[in-house]
Amino acid sequence: MRRLPVLHIGLFLVTVFTTLVAGTLQQGINPIENPLLLSKGIPFSFTLLLILGAHEFGHYFMSRKHNIDVTFPYFIPAPSLVGTFGAFIKMKSPIMDRRILLDVGAAGPLAGLCVTIPVLLVGLYLSEVRYETVDTGFVPLGSSILFSIMNWIVHGSLPDNSNIMIHPIAFSGWIGLLVTSLNLLPVGQLDGGHVAYAVIGRKQGLVAKSVLVILVILGATGWIGWLLWAGILFFMGTYHPPVIYDWIPLDTKRKVIGWLTIAVFVITFTPIPF
């Protein structure tokens, strides 16, 4: 019988608080002056944690299905614009073959995306469209292929002088897409590294190096944050370690899921997030 995961619960509760603070500050409200106004941060906080929780529990339940010893999610609170650095789980037993690697690696991003899409649709519906250029005081957000499609579904084709005042729920959905794409970078032991290795084997290392070059180029010409990401990923390692029974191939269904997950990376990737 498992002990009560006190540390995991504690980190989650602190992350609830920090994301509530972040959501309140995004509304232009100082929660220190009136702590009761923390409730203004609920739309952002709860939807973001729902997305992150779906992602990590996707990994967790798939790991348990394959009898992998795995921890509950660790949520990471942070004094940042969004109040968190995300969440992660820790696997304590090795991955036996590429079929299991694909299942576990893809489960998190796909589960998170299943929550992110309806959250983003609701958030975009609640967002206000203004047909003049205004200075909102916020940094403009970049757009991925999927975000652009969903924005078109909700608002249709907008003129050049339009400006979307994004709702907190939509902002949490936008972050959900960004987190999905970051996790699906086919590098090292990120989710994307797991999926890429499961699908193409040792060629994953070459793909990872190519992705790092692209991130450096994007960092030099667009968003400088990609330079930091490229540096972090380089020092973490670009190659994915082999699984125990590396010669066991993927079945057709898993190949389809693998390539679908790679497609999700393409349509959620935002070249210039900010």
**Structure-block tokens of residue 224:** 């400088």
- Answer whether residue 133 shows pLDDT above 70: no
The beta-strand segments (E) located in the chain are 74-77, 84-88, 128-130, 163-165
**Distance (Å, rounded) from C-alpha 172 to C-alpha 120?**
8
Query: Residues 227-248: what's their mean pLDDT?
Result: 93
- Answer whether residue 40 shows pLDDT above 60: yes
The beta-strand segments (E) located in 96-225 are 128-130, 163-165
Task: Enumerate the domain spans of the chain.
Answer: 6-268
Higher pLDDT, residue 52 or 81: 52
DSSP-based three-state secondary structure for 137 = coil
Query: Residues 215-231: what's their mean pLDDT?
Result: 94
Query: Residues 96-125: what's their mean pLDDT?
Result: 97
pLDDT category at 122 given cuts 50, 70, 90 is: very high
- Answer whether residue 180 shows pLDDT above 80: yes
DSSP-based three-state secondary structure for 89 = coil
Query: What is the predicted pLDDT for the residue at 5?
Result: 87
- Answer whether residue 57 shows pLDDT above 60: yes
The residues, any chain, with a CB within 8 Å of residue 45's CB and separated by 6 or more, are 16, 19, 20, 22, 23, 83
Q: Could you give the C-alpha distances from 34 to 15, 126, 193, in angstroms and in order?
A: 20, 26, 45
Query: What is the predicted pLDDT for the residue at 2?
Result: 63
Give the highest mean pLDDT range of 30-34, 35-39, 145-149: 145-149
Query: What is the predicted pLDDT for the residue at 134?
Result: 54
Closest to 121 (Cα-Cα) out of 172, 161, 76: 172
Higher pLDDT, residue 108 or 222: 108
Query: What is the predicted pLDDT for the residue at 135?
Result: 54
Query: What is the predicted pLDDT for the residue at 31?
Result: 85
pLDDT category at 107 given cuts 50, 70, 90 is: very high
The residues, any chain, with a CB within 8 Å of residue 260's CB and separated by 6 or more, are none
Give the helix/strand (H/E) hosting 217: helix 204-221
